[in-house]
Amino acid sequence: MKQKNNNKKQPIYRCYANDNTKATVDVVGNSLFELIGTTEPEQTKSFGYILARSEYAMKSFLELVYTKISKSERGKNVHDLMKENYSVDCELMLQSDKGSNDRADIVIRFPESQYAIIVEAKSMKIKASSKAAVFQGQSYANKLVIQKKAVISLTNNQESGNCVLWSEIVDMFDKIIRDNRNKNVSLDLERDFLNYLLKIKGLMNYYDIEVLSISADRSINGVRKTGIYDCPSEKRGYKTRGEHKPLFIAFRGKYGSVKKLYKVERLLNIPLSGNDYDSFKGTIEKTIIDRIEEYKKIVSYDNTDTKPKWVFVLDENRSIVLPHEIRYKRNNSFVETQRPLRDYFAEPDKDGIVLFSRLSSK
């Protein structure tokens, strides 16, 4: 998959959005994606374009999709799919039974194996329902004449297994660039697309909250043993915990003590019991479901509670044992979101403790 290395110097290109201003905010630079635009259809077209033009992007996206869908929905393995002459259609018009025309956001087709992936994408600026997006994509898939199909949503909110998050797309392109940094390949297009995503309003909120600091009570033993934490996703006082999408969580113990920062690997918005949970279990990795089930046992989860929960899947390998214990001057049930990560590595006092005062939350 080696790409040609082009070291030729390129001239600067600028496109002014407003003839009456010279403000840099109104200047579109070299990025093709910024020229396409940032509305929902334009985001979809931009993503479809780079899937068609970058083998790195397509291969990584297929690998990501295969972690989201069931085995029965998969085609050949990714390596074999990448050998085919695939096509990517954006805004593909599909004739409905009632005579009207529907448009599928992105359809990736592999003609040789008669396999297709239908992507129903929602703007990264909003928190759209992934369930509704999957349902919409399935209605389009039913009109697509091909033997085997998978439907995936692309949103900011995971309510179902067949969902890729925009934040995961950001991580995907970041990994592509990092993994190929020292190779003799050109990744200008991939870098442009990553920068395009990061500039779009709304997505950066995923990275704004570096550490979510909360009081740990009934959940802490479950967190330590399983790397899972849950809280209500619709209840006042808890709803924003997931909306902040933190990079790390600091669970405060006795005396407001924090000795470890837990890295957030994945954030789900699902019930932990009932029919919806049973349906979800078949669409996500068994290892995560096993961890959730073990967590429920440890915290004595109420299985009559079928309301949606924020479920934080924590990454033990990327969690951080702090060099010095953190303590808060006041230890209570407050939620803290504005303290930067660097503060957790401050110099300790004479007792070897880093003492925090309470900061306000967003």
Rounded mean pLDDT, 66-84: 93
Tokens of 318: 């990327």
Residues with Cβ within 8 Å of residue 67, at least 6 apart in sequence? 285
1 pLDDT above the threshold of 70? no
Query: Options 1.10.20, 2.30.130, 2.60.40, 2.30.30; which CATH number does 209-356 get?
Result: 2.30.130
17-31, 169-183, 318-332: which has the minimum mean pLDDT?
Answer: 17-31
Distance in angstroms (rounded) separating the CA atoms of residues 150 and 141: 8
DSSP H helical ranges for 227-348: 239-243, 275-281, 286-298
- Decide if pLDDT at 60 tops 90: yes
Of residues 361 and 25, the one with the higher pLDDT is 361
When pLDDT is averaged across residues 3-16 and rounded to a whole number, the result is 52
Q: Note the pLDDT of residue 224.
A: 94
Phi/psi class of residue 255: alpha, beta or left (left: φ > 0; alpha: ψ in -120 to 50)?
A: left
Determine the Cα–Cα distance for residues 273 and 362; give it in Å rounded to an integer.
30
β-strand 309-328 against 353-356: which pairing, if any? parallel
User: Angle at which helices 55-66 and 166-179 pack, to 10 degrees?
Assistant: 130
Q: What is the pTM of this model?
A: 0.60
Is 134:108 a contact under the CB 8 Å cutoff?
Answer: no
Tell me the C-alpha distance between 211 and 340, whole Å: 7
Does the pLDDT at position 18 exceed 60?
no
What is the tens place of the pLDDT at every residue in 103-152? 889 999 999 999 999 999 999 888 788 888 888 888 888 888 888 999 99
Angle (CA) 152 275 235, round 5°: 85
Separation CA 229–CA 113 (nearest Å): 41
List the chain domain ranges: 15-199, 209-356
- Cα–Cα distance for residue pair 94/97, rounded to 1 Å: 10
Structure tokens at 10: 């390129």
Secondary element (H or E) of residue 161:
none
pLDDT reading at 12 higher than 50: yes
Q: Which residues contact 108 (CB under 8 A, 6 or more apart)?
A: 51, 58, 86, 87, 88, 116, 117, 119
> What pLDDT is recorded for position 24?
39
- Give me the pLDDT at residue 11, please: 59
- Three-state DSSP class for residue 168: helix
- Amino acid residing at 16: Y
Which DSSP string do the residues of 227-244 spell out, in sequence order?
SEEEEESSSTTTHHHHHT
Which one is predicted more confidently, 159 or 313? 313
pLDDT tens digits for range 236-287: 888 888 877 788 999 998 888 999 999 998 888 889 999 889 888 877 788 9
Beta carbons within 8 Å of 217's beta carbon, 6+ residues apart: none
Query: Is the Cβ–Cβ distance between 169 and 155 less than 8 Å?
Result: no
Instruction: Give the mean model confidence (pLDDT) for residues 304-311.
Output: 92
Task: Find out whether 154 and 169 touch, Cβ atoms under 8 Å.
Answer: yes
